[in-house]
Amino acid sequence: MAKRKTKFVCQECGYETTKWLGKCPGCQSWNSLVEELEAPAPGSAKHRTFQSGAEAAKTKPQAITEIERKEDPRMSTYIGELNRVLGGGIVPGSLVLVGGDPGIGKSTLLLQLSATLSEHRQRVLYISGEESMKQTKLRADRLGLGNNELYVLAETDVEQIEQAIDHLAPSLVVIDSIQTVHLEHVTSAPGSVSQVRESTSSFMRIAKAKGIAVFIVGHVTKQGAIAGPRILEHMVDCVLYFEGERHHTYRILRAVKNRFGSTNEIGIFEMAESGLEEVLNPSEIFLEERAQGASGSAVVASMEGTRPVLVEIQSLVSPTSFGNPRRMATGIDHNRISLVIAVLEKRIGMLMQNHDAYVKVSGGVRLDEPSVDLSIAVAIASSFRDSPSDPRDVIIGEVGLTGEVRRVTRIDQRVNEAAKLGFQRVILPAKNIGGWNVPDGIEMIGVNNVNEALDATLGGMTSGSPKFEL
């Protein structure tokens, strides 16, 4: 009998080599190569196609203008925030990967999704590789979920799972989680690179051939990335990240890849005793604990996909005796904070070489768009002079390196959201004024540079010396 060959596979990136190495040449991670047996060659195994039609006929190249366009109706999840992130609902035959920190609520969200669909006469198969069927039942009872169309299976063998899918013919399959299932012909342990890759490939074949939507739960590493090879995210149709602090009630569902919709949308949930509840007005939630009359605070209207969200940006500037001042940011890119501080020093004359600067976005939201630059500058300047800004103001604008304030997109939606929450003034780029209807009760103040914005919000604070003597 021929000797089985072994190989060493990196558990982070999937790099393969014939000998053990302490450091992976592919991803530069240490002690990540694990010895695995090479799988036998397929030999005479027939090539399995990924056709979704009734007949598995061979395909041939076809002109794109001659291809018949067939749109399958999306399947609503009956959860508005999840529908928003998915782009309008679940596409039949799609493969969706859901990742997030332990205890963040991935299993709770998918169990609620399964129960909701089953209540609307959709057959759902929930497969748990981490819990027994009784444990899943206990969790469903705690959340008040359950229906005759919701089937539960505790299984880790992919072949047994495929037989259950063939028997039930469900509309949705949930795999919790991909790191626990395995294929018999793959010799490595469950959760390894080979098992995760081959198991995901099997579920992708099931989804495309049978037209069944498959949701897969993926564990994450300490760095926050989904565990397993990077190819896992390339294979699936949609990648969702469930974010939020474990000890806080609010959760954010964000799409980082979506072949059937936008990746700019977010869904906001609140963890309650009965499970995850939708947050229909996130702006009100993020601003409900805002302190009145405190310096270092500014409100910005940010766009998350097609939804305007008002959040508070907080800043704390304090003198330091060290030669290298600290610059820390939570919810905003650290480099953006350094850029805004450099503009304030060069264009406004705020000497902050001997001051630490801390900037935070309240509510656990992460802001990436450039329209938050001006509100960051106002918050830092407000804390620097210990002069509070007007709590009725919403500040919007992108800041350039020369100190100019540039126009932003969808200004009408941002201002309308501010009007709904009772704000009275909007400081915005002067180029954005005109061409749209201003809501009643809103005063528009257009600014051309950071200096004008600080004069409008902090009452001419740029004149005179700073409060902290250097």
Question: Which residues participate in the annotated binding site for ATP?
Answer: 100-107
Binding-site sequence positions: 100-107
Residue with tokens 């896992």: 232
Burial class of residue 274, CB neighbours in 10 A (0-12, 13-18, 19+): exposed
58: tokens are 């061979």
Query: How many residues does the structure list for the chain?
Result: 470
Strands (E), 72-212: 95-100, 124-128, 150-153, 172-176
Phi, psi of 242 (to 5 degrees): -100, 110
What number of other Cβ atoms are within 10 A of residue 139's Cβ? 16
Structure-token pair, residue 234: 């390339």
CB 111 within 8 A of CB 140: yes
DSSP assigned state of 8: E
d(CA 318, CA 262): 41
| Separation between Cα atoms, residue 283 and residue 363, nearest integer Å | 10
Q: Count the Cβ atoms, other than its own, within 10 Å of residue 326.
A: 11
SS3 state at 340: helix
Long-range contacts of 56-62 (CB under 8 A, 24+ apart): none
Category of 346 on φ-ψ map: left (φ > 0), alpha (ψ -120 to 50) or beta: alpha
Rounded Cα gap, residues 68 and 70, in angstroms: 6
Write phi, then psi, for 171 (nearest 5 degrees).
-85, -25
Sheet with 425-429: strands ordered across: 393-395, 425-429, 443-447
Tell me which H or E stretch contains 406. strand 405-406
Q: What is the CA radius of gyration of the chain?
A: 27
